[in-house]
Amino acid sequence: MTDRDDYIRDGAAIYERSFAIIRAESNLSRFSDAESRIAVRMIHGCGMVEVADAIHFGGGFAAAGRAALLAGAPILCDSKMVAHGITRARLPANNEVICTLDAPETPALAKRIGNTRSAAALDLWGDRLRGAVVAIGNAPTALFHLLELLDAGAPMPAAVIGLPVGFVGAAESKEALRADGRLPYLIVEGRRGGSAMAVSAVNALASDAE
């Protein structure tokens, strides 16, 4: 039999073997148990054990994010891919998953504030920011704009998953989040990040079940 015929078809067995490989190959020694679970899922989402070295937590992120979800906090997402990747069955309080990128007001708002649609969409989060889990997996401008909103007095979220990806502003926006000091955060240093890792982080926070 070739690989093509005898591949593993059982979803639970695939997860179990994947997580065992990740734990065997990754350097997770910097992390608490709760952080390790998050890092393992992020590695699972991107297929790269070496990303462990670029993952950084601050401000008690794992505990703050978990407590917020248990308390029913909404999850505010910068992109539709993040919103649609979150496994609803894992959420502990049927938490609302919100993405305002396609709201009818967003394009005009973007023009008015002179920023991207991804950034402008955050202006529609309003009071839902208070105590929320924010998951940014696409746009550096969204993460920069989040910090601007907080500077201007917007309500504080409980935890921020800051994982914009790319070549212009991604690394800088994540360093700005880390330096900010007001917020429990999770980042991946540098250019890497993206919706898959952001979804993995939310799914890990949502449930202890691997």
Binding mask 49-78 for its own copies (x = CB under 8 A): ------------------------------
Measured between its terminal Cα atoms, the distance across the chain in Å is 30
Q: Which of 44, 56, 84, 145 is catalytic?
A: 44
User: Beta strand pairing status for 75-77 and 133-136?
Assistant: parallel
CB under 8 Å to 129, separation ≥6 — which residues? 76, 149, 154, 155, 156, 157
Instruction: Confirm if 69 and 133 have CB atoms less than 8 A apart.
Output: yes
Q: Which of 1, 3, 94, 152 binds its own copies (CB under 8 A)?
A: 3
Distance CA 184, CA 169 (A): 21
Q: Is 106 in the site for its own copies (CB under 8 A)?
A: no
Q: Which stretch binds its own copies (CB under 8 A): 59-67, 79-87, 90-98, 201-209?
A: 79-87
**Number of residues written out for the chain:** 210
**Secondary structure letter of residue 112 according to DSSP:** H
| Identity of the residue, 64 or 110, whose beta carbon is nearer to its own copies in the bound complex | 110
Q: Is 89 in the site for its own copies (CB under 8 A)?
A: no
Provide the 10 A C-beta neighbour count for residue 2: 6
Q: Is 178 in the site for its own copies (CB under 8 A)?
A: no
Q: Is 124 in the site for its own copies (CB under 8 A)?
A: no
Least distance CB 116 / its own copies (angstroms): 5
CB under 8 Å to 103, separation ≥6 — which residues? 121, 124
For residue 44, indicate whether it is catalytic: yes
Binding mask 18-37 for its own copies (x = CB under 8 A): x--xx---------------
- Partners of residue 105 on adjacent β-strands: none
Distance CA 161, CA 85 (A): 15
Q: Which of 63, 169, 207, 210 binds its own copies (CB under 8 A)?
A: 169
Least distance CB 201 / its own copies (angstroms): 14
Least distance CB 39 / its own copies (angstroms): 14
| Residues identified as active-site | 44
